[in-house]
């Protein structure tokens, strides 16, 4: 576990004593949508934060505003109220400075795996030969070696997700938001993808905010779990996961795991 995350666990999650070293601080953020005269309040006074190199998992019922929150964090939308601080600065531009894998993988069907992977470096005007070389070297870690010339439609679901994740990681942002990256996968693939994601994170060590519907996944992966209520989403629980790293599947049968699962399920009203 990153030392900053350990430090974090010693303070109360909602104390907003974060300084400029805290990558993301969300303070009292609300968001309402108005479409054709209909009003939907998606988020209500959300406050949470993500420390440097921390793996934060975000869980909540469908429609409670999780994807909206990620859109707000990365600057695709602006909140109606409240503020989002990037390293302590509420005015810092965030768009393009935060890695984001949206809920749908959004691989471009007309581009090969490699050309999809190189989208970030291309948009950012980086040295393409160096980016291609780096992508080649990372293909085995993402289980895509030999598939770089394939098109998305010819990949399995797990491979598409890994390609989309690899594209997100190749953008080299210090903060990465992942919106249910394993949502569409079967239980078996999902289990192996979890393990694999922890290996990738151990290598890249970004600050991660990971959305999931799966309580066990939230605990297994996270340094901390944030639970949102049903819409309008608001934080109803923000708890550290006191399990050592590296994590392994056997931990799901530990009493600490079971106790945390009970707390999360009860917060979710399940």
Ligand X SMILES: Nc1ncnc2c1ncn2[C@@H]1O[C@H](COP(=O)(O)OP(=O)(O)OP(=O)(O)O)[C@@H](O)[C@H]1O
65 binds, among ligand X, Mg ion, none (CB under 5 to 8 A by kind): ligand X
- Is residue 212 involved in binding ligand X (CB under 6 A)? no
**Between residues 1 and 185, which has the closer beta carbon with respect to Mg ion?**
185
What are the percentages of helix, strand and coil residues in the chain, rounded to 5? 35, 25, 40
The length of the chain in residues reads 270
Interface residue with ligand X among 26, 64, 118, 219 (CB under 6 A) is 64
CB-wise, 51 or 71, nearer to Mg ion? 71
Contact flags string 91-120 toward ligand X, x per CB under 6 A: ------------x-----------------
Query: CB of 42: closest distance to ligand X in angstroms?
Result: 4
Selection from Mg ion, ligand X, none that 166 binds (CB < 5 to 8 A by kind) is none
Shortest CA distance to 141 belongs to which of 190, 100, 191, 199?
199
Nearest distance from C-beta of residue 51 to ligand X, angstroms: 23
Q: 3-class SS at 149? A: coil
Question: Judged by CB under 6 A, how many residues of this single chain contact ligand X?
Answer: 14
Assess 184 for contact with Mg ion (CB under 5 A).
no
How far is it, in rounded angstroms, from Cα 103 to Cα 126? 26
* Selected range binding ligand X among 16-24, 65-73, 115-123, 247-255, rule: CB under 6 A: 65-73
For 63, the enclosing helix (H) or strand (E) is: none
Residues numbered 101-160 forming contacts with Mg ion, rule: CB under 5 A: 103
Tokens encoding 118: 């190189």
Work out which of 47, 67, 112, 189 binds Mg ion, going by CB under 5 A.
67
Centre a 10 Å sphere on the Cβ of residue 123 and count the other Cβ atoms it contains: 10
Gap between the Cα atoms of 74 and 83, Å rounded? 12
Q: State the CB neighbour count (10 A cutoff) for residue 222.
A: 26
Query: Are 112 and 93 spatial neighbours (Cβ–Cβ below 8 Å)?
Result: no
Nearest to 178 by CA among 68, 76, 101: 101
Cβ 231 to Mg ion shortest distance, Å: 12
Q: What is the dihedral of CA 190, 195, 200, 205, to 10 degrees?
A: 110
Q: Candidates 58-66, 88-96, 126-134, 254-262 — which segment interacts with ligand X by CB under 6 A? A: 58-66
Residue 225 to residue 157: CA distance in whole angstroms: 26
**Closest residue by Cα to residue 1 from 240, 218, 179:** 240
**Residue 31 or 66 with smaller CB distance to Mg ion:** 66
Q: Which does 35 bind (CB under 5 to 8 A by kind): ligand X, Mg ion, none?
A: ligand X
Segment interacting with ligand X (CB under 6 A) among 59-67, 128-136, 163-171, 214-222: 59-67
Figure out which of the listed residues 40, 119, 230, 239 binds ligand X, where binding follows CB under 6 A. Answer: 40
Site for Mg ion, rule CB under 5 A: 66-67, 103
Site for ligand X, rule CB under 6 A: 33, 35, 40, 42, 60, 62-68, 103, 231
């Amino acid at each position: 576990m990153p030392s900053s995350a350990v430090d974090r666990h010693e303070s109360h999650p909602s104390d907003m004593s974060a300084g400029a070293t805290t990558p993301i601080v969300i303070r009292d953020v609300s968001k309402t949508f108005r479409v054709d005269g209909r009003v939907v309040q998606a988020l209500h006074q959300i406050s949470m934060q993500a420390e440097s190199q921390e793996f934060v998992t975000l869980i909540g019922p469908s429609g409670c505003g999780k994807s909206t929150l990620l859109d707000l964090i990365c600057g695709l939308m602006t909140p109606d109220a409240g503020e989002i601080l990037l390293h302590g600065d509420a005015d810092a531009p965030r768009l393009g400075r935060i890695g984001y894998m949206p809920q749908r993988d959004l691989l471009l069907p007309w581009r090969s795996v490699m050309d999809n992977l190189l989208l970030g470096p291309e948009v950012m005007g980086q040295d393409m030969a160096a980016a291609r070389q780096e992508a080649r070297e990372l293909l085995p870690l993402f289980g895509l070696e030999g598939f770089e010339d394939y098109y998305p439609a010819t990949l399995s679901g797990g491979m598409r997700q890994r390609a989309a994740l690899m594209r997100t990681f190749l953008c080299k942002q210090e903060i990465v938001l992942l919106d249910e990256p394993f949502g569409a996968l079967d239980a078996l693939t999902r289990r192996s993808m979890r393990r694999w994601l922890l290996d990738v994170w151990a290598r890249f060590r970004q600050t991660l905010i990971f959305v999931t519907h799966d309580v066990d996944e939230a605990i297994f992966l996270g340094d901390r779990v944030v639970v949102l209520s049903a819409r309008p989403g608001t934080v109803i629980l923000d708890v550290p996961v006191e399990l050592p790293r590296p994590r392994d599947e056997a931990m799901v049968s530990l009493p600490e795991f079971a106790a945390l699962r009970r707390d999360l399920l009860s917060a979710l009203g399940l």
